A = this chain, B = another copy of it.
Amino acid sequence: MSVRLYWQSILIDVNHRMGKLMAQAAARFRAAAIEAFAERGYGATSTRDIANRLGLSTAAMYPHYKSKESLLYAISLDGHQSALHELERTDQPQIAPPDRLRLVVSAFTCWQANNSALARVLQYEIRSLTPEHYKDVATLRRATSAVIGTIIETGSISGDFTVTDTDGALLAISSLCVDVCRWFPSRTHSDPDLLGELYADIALRIVT
């Protein structure tokens, strides 16, 4: 290997490692912000509070996030994408609508239960996003809702579901799943999978 190639390979490696370290640092800031926002609320949290949780100064945050709102935006995009991917990954369009609904509702319920602090931030702090950022997040929310909506429509057309107000059923099923982040865990419900099964049953009762 020539000296030039040697140095080039080192530069590429350093660049790669730096990128990885930057991504890891950004993820740590997001995690600290989720904790802080979920505990105290977005309005009551300062960028200093977030940096302090990591034993850092706010100056260490600026290369990653220029403002508290840009952190909330990154968290919101990430979180909504994660929930959407979970539903898309779980959905099996080739199977019968009742089984399909059961799988997806169960997965959405589990996601809310397993990520309740993040989910609370997503739901309750969405109003603090700038209008442009809100629009991006709203697109992801509509896509998530559409996964369940498509199953209800499909089951309604096939005759598997008897519900006539499909939009109402979608609203109720989505709302039911989303509200899990408000109260989970409770004294009687602390197992995400069991709650997922219960809510899958309830969702089927709503549409059939």
CA distance A55 to B19 in the complex (A): 52
CA distance A43 to B202 in the complex (A): 35
- Interface assignment of A190: CB less than 8 Å from any CB of chain B: no
Instruction: List the number of copies, as a whole number.
Output: 2
Contact residues of A: prevailing secondary structure = helix
Least CB distance from A118 to B in Å reads 16
A42 contacts which chain B residues (CB < 8 A)? 41, 44
Most buried by B among A45, A123, A169, A202: A202
CA distance A199 to B169 in the complex (A): 9
- Interface assignment of A132: CB less than 8 Å from any CB of chain B: no
Least CB distance from A169 to B in Å reads 7
CA distance A41 to B44 in the complex (A): 8
- Are B201 and A165 in touch, CB under 8 angstroms? yes
- Are B205 and A189 in touch, CB under 8 angstroms? no
Chain B residue with Cβ nearest A205: B206
Chain B residue with Cβ nearest A40: B43
Least CB distance from A172 to B in Å reads 5
Chain B residue with Cβ nearest A202: B172
A40 contacts which chain B residues (CB < 8 A)? 43
- Interface assignment of A94: CB less than 8 Å from any CB of chain B: no
Least CB distance from A168 to B in Å reads 5
- Are B172 and A176 in touch, CB under 8 angstroms? yes
- Interface assignment of A6: CB less than 8 Å from any CB of chain B: no
- Interface assignment of A171: CB less than 8 Å from any CB of chain B: yes
